């Protein structure tokens, strides 16, 4: 079980607080007088390099942060998670997404059962199914090959596979096209189905619970669309498969249990990419490459379990996040992939981090009083540069940012990659070291500006610098590297949750809105009285009803 230590009440926290007061006034420029800084604060793991030297840290900060993780029982917490202890206490569940990518032939006993046996058999079923769809052995009801696969799911049943299919698009040459429908807004499914053909479309209904309103509504619409052409319900088995842990609901929906790919309670939604939820990835790029992604994640698991904290990438990233959130008071963090294939990585990380650690009640059941997860956002570089980077360079917030880039491009077109790399490198340099007023004045003078102009313009052209970032460089974006990167961030989130003394694997915060929506739906559908609502909600409902002619 996880230790319950209030980090704020530890002596180490106090020491960090005192040290922060000193560190905040030492600019990065000053810290970089130490020419060994890159060697001291960078870590290599296989084909991935993390440079965290452009952070407002020194040896003392790092030692204190590591001390904090030790006091919090991080070591033991890692062991507990991998061993399948029920560390998701509020739901009384183990947390074993790592078992899904355990490709060894060993065993892992949970509730008297070797769960690796079940995991292997679902993986085998995924292998056979994905191959037969890709090779056209699995056929639609008129005997045609499947050309389009539509994944219907939301949250963890959408974001992970959607992100991974996008990230590995380069490798999807012979696979069918894969589409993702998540939003209950009817426009999402309508626009997706517009160009598809009932005879050649396969639906994967992805829902752990198989009760999620958005997914079930979209799945029902997909079923009607299919039957409008196919007519006979017998054909549903040729066009619908389920990725779920709820066999009863799957068969109630009318999907043949033969076409169900199971996963289990010990897999949280936002960690479910490694389960049957990854089926669209296997169909898109082929099972072997899908398994390479799992292998990559498994390598990160081994790194996370075995590497001392000082060289442990998820631990370092997690600690830096805490340093900025709790001591510098940063409310936001950015993840900026200089890799178009990773365009959906920030969206995936938003759920991973904010649904896991966006909590304010500690494992003691009391208000934390200290900050937990930051708001996470991101966009691929260089697009972000022409959008919101103004704020990270010159705004009033300090936003620690992770920059990611491949050394080698997957598409070596002209000098695109040189330019991408140049931007990637320059941005972190500009953020860290900025441009002083003196430098601005000299530059303007060299441009032959008048002294009047210089006085007027120069304050606006100063870059304060001293803005922290991490650089993560990988050789090229392969399935193995993608697996490693995803698992690095998963474990970063775990590290932070352990130290913040919160439960990272539940998500009670999404429930209230869902419950209220049931009541409001009745109102919208049947026009029942609205006296039990607050005046704002009641006013909005009346306005909508009036406009809809109720
Ligand atoms: O939004 C809450 C949530 O439970 C997520 O944690 C989960 O990923 C998503 O809904 C989808 O749930 P399901 O896979 O059960 O449809």
Write down the pLDDT at residue 532. Answer: 82
Q: Residue 323 contacts by C-beta under 8 Å, 6 or more apart in sequence?
A: 16, 20, 55, 56, 57, 61, 65
Rounded to the nearest whole angstrom, what is the distance from the C-alpha of residue 514 to the centroid of ligand 1?
11
- CA-nearest residue, atom 4 of ligand 1: 269
Write down the pLDDT at residue 519. Answer: 86
**Is position 188 annotated as part of the catalytic site?**
no
**Is position 514 annotated as part of the catalytic site?**
yes
If pLDDT is split at 50, 70 and 90, which confidence band does 531 have?
low
Complete DSSP assignment for 67-90: HHHHHTTHHHHHHHHHHT---BGG
Q: Residue 384 contacts by C-beta under 8 Å, 6 or more apart in sequence?
A: 334, 336, 378
Whether the per-residue pLDDT at 530 is higher than 60: the answer is no
* pLDDT average, residue stretch 177-181: 98
Rounded to the nearest whole angstrom, what is the distance from the C-alpha of residue 211 to the centroid of ligand 1?
9
* pLDDT average, residue stretch 166-175: 93
Among the ranges given (14-23, 45-54, 410-419, 508-517), the one the predictor scored with the smallest mean pLDDT: 508-517
Rounded to the nearest whole angstrom, what is the distance from the C-alpha of residue 343 to the centroid of ligand 1?
22
Whether the per-residue pLDDT at 156 is higher than 60: the answer is yes
Rounded to the nearest whole angstrom, what is the distance from the C-alpha of residue 503 to the centroid of ligand 1?
17
- CA-nearest residue, atom 3 of ligand 1: 155
Instruction: Give the CA distances from residue 480 to residues 80, 120, 128, 298, in Å, rounded to whole numbers and listed in that order.
Output: 26, 19, 21, 9
Write down the pLDDT at residue 526. Answer: 80
- CA-nearest residue, atom 13 of ligand 1: 207
Ligand 1 atom at shortest distance from the alpha carbon of 270: 8
Out of 233, 366, 514, 519, the active site residue is 514
Rounded to the nearest whole angstrom, what is the distance from the C-alpha of residue 358 to the centroid of ligand 1?
16
Ligand 1 site residues (CB inside 6 A) read 154-157, 207-209, 212, 215, 269-270, 355, 507, 510
Whether the per-residue pLDDT at 529 is higher than 70: the answer is no
Rounded to the nearest whole angstrom, what is the distance from the C-alpha of residue 125 to the centroid of ligand 1?
24
Out of 386, 397, 416, 419, the active site residue is 386
Rounded to the nearest whole angstrom, what is the distance from the C-alpha of residue 444 to the centroid of ligand 1?
55
Q: What are phi and psi of 154, to 5 degrees?
A: -145, 160
Out of 166, 262, 355, 379, the active site residue is 355
CA gap 114, 96 in Å, rounded: 13
Q: Higher model confidence: residue 469 or residue 521?
A: 469
Ligand 1 atom at shortest distance from the alpha carbon of 244: 14
If pLDDT is split at 50, 70 and 90, which confidence band does 527 have?
confident
**Is position 386 annotated as part of the catalytic site?**
yes
If pLDDT is split at 50, 70 and 90, which confidence band does 471 have?
very high
If pLDDT is split at 50, 70 and 90, which confidence band does 550 have?
confident
Write down the pLDDT at residue 247. Answer: 95
* pLDDT average, residue stretch 69-82: 98
Whether the per-residue pLDDT at 533 is higher than 70: the answer is yes
- CA-nearest residue, atom 6 of ligand 1: 269
- CA-nearest residue, atom 2 of ligand 1: 510
Ligand 1 atom at shortest distance from the alpha carbon of 268: 6
Complete DSSP assignment for 298-318: HHHHHHHHHS-GGG-HHHHHH
* pLDDT average, residue stretch 65-81: 98
Which of 93, 160, 208, 506 best tests ligand 1's pocket when mutated (most atoms within 8 Å of CB)? 208
- CA-nearest residue, atom 9 of ligand 1: 155
Report percent pLDDT > 70 for the chain.
Answer: 99
Beta strand 469-474 pairing with 401-406: parallel
Write down the pLDDT at residue 549. Answer: 84
- CA-nearest residue, atom 10 of ligand 1: 155
Write down the pLDDT at residue 523. Answer: 86
CA terminus-to-terminus distance, the chain? 55
Tell me which DSSP letter residue 140 carries.
-
Instruction: Specify the residue for token string 């068969």.
Output: 251
If pLDDT is split at 50, 70 and 90, which confidence band does 522 have?
confident
Write down the pLDDT at residue 1. Answer: 83
Write down the pLDDT at residue 491. Answer: 98
Q: Residue 355 contacts by C-beta under 8 Å, 6 or more apart in sequence?
A: 155, 270, 507, 509, 510
Q: Residue 404 contacts by C-beta under 8 Å, 6 or more apart in sequence?
A: 335, 336, 337, 338, 339, 342, 345, 471, 472, 473, 474, 485
Average pLDDT taken over every residue of the chain: 96
- 265-324 pLDDT tens trace: 999 999 999 999 999 999 999 999 999 999 999 999 999 999 999 999 999 999 999 999
Q: What are the structure tokens assigned to 455, written together?
A: 């006085």
């Amino acid at each position: 079980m996880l230790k319950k230590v209030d980090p704020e009440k530890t002596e180490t926290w106090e020491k960090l607080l005192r040290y922060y007061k000193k560190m905040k006034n030492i600019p990065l420029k000053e810290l970089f007088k130490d020419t060994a800084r890159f060697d001291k604060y960078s870590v290599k793991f296989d084909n991935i390099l993390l440079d965290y030297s452009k952070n407002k840290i020194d040896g003392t900060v790092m030692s204190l942060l590591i001390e904090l993780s030790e006091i919090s029982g991080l070591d033991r917490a890692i062991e507990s998670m991998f061993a399948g202890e029920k560390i998701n206490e509020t739901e009384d569940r183990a947390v074993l997404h790592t078992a899904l990518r355990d490709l060894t032939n060993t065993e892992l006993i949970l509730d008297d059962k070797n769960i690796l046996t079940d995991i292997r058999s679902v993986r085998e079923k995924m292998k056979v199914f994905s191959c037969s769809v890709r090779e056209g052995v699995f056929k639609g009801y008129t005997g045609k090959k499947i050309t389009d696969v539509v994944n219907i799911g939301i949250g963890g049943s959408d974001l992970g596979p959607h992100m991974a299919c996008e990230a590995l698009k380069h490798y999807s040459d012979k696979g069918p096209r894969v589409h993702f429908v998540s939003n209950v807004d009817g426009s999402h499914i309508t626009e997706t189905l517009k160009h598809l053909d009932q005879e050649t479309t396969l639906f994967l209904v992805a829902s752990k619970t198989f009760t999620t309103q958005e997914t079930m509504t979209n799945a029902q619409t997909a079923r009607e669309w299919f039957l409008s052409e196919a007519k006979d319900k017998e054909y549903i088995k040729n066009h619908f498969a389920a990725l779920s842990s709820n066999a009863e609901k799957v068969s109630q929906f009318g999907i043949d249990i033969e076409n169900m790919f199971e996963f289990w309670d010990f897999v949280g939604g936002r960690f479910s990419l490694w389960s049957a939820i990854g089926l669209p990835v296997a169909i898109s790029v082929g099972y072997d490459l899908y398994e390479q992604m799992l292998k990559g994640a498994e390598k990160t698991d081994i790194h996370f379990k075995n590497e001392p904290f000082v060289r442990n990438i998820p631990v370092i990233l997690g600690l830096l996040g805490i340093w900025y959130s709790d001591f510098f008071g940063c409310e936001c963090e950015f993840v900026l992939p200089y890799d178009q294939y990773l365009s959906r990585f920030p969206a995936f990380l938003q759920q991973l981090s904010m649904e896991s650690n966006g909590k304010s009640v500690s494992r003691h059941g009391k208000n934390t009083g200290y900050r937990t997860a930051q708001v996470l956002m991101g966009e691929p570089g260089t697009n972000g540069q022409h959008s919101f980077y103004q704020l990270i360079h010159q705004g009033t917030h300090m936003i620690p940012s992770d920059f990611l880039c491949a050394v080698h491009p997957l598409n070596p077109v002209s000098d695109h990659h040189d330019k991408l790399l140049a931007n990637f490198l320059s941005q972190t340099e500009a953020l860290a070291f900025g441009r002083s007023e003196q430098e601005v004045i000299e530059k303007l003078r060299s441009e032959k500006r008048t002294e009047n102009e210089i006085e007027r313009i120069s304050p606006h052209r100063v870059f304060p610098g001293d803005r922290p970032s991490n650089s993560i460089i990988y050789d090229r974006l392969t399935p193995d590297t993608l697996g490693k990167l995803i698992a690095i961030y998963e474990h970063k989130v775990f590290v932070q949750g352990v130290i913040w003394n919160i439960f990272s694997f539940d998500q009670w915060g999404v429930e209230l809105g869902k419950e209220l929506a049931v009541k409001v739906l009745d109102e919208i559908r049947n026009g029942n009285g609205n006296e039990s609502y607050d005046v704002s909600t009641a006013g909005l409902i009346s306005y909508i009803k009036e406009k809809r002619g109720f």
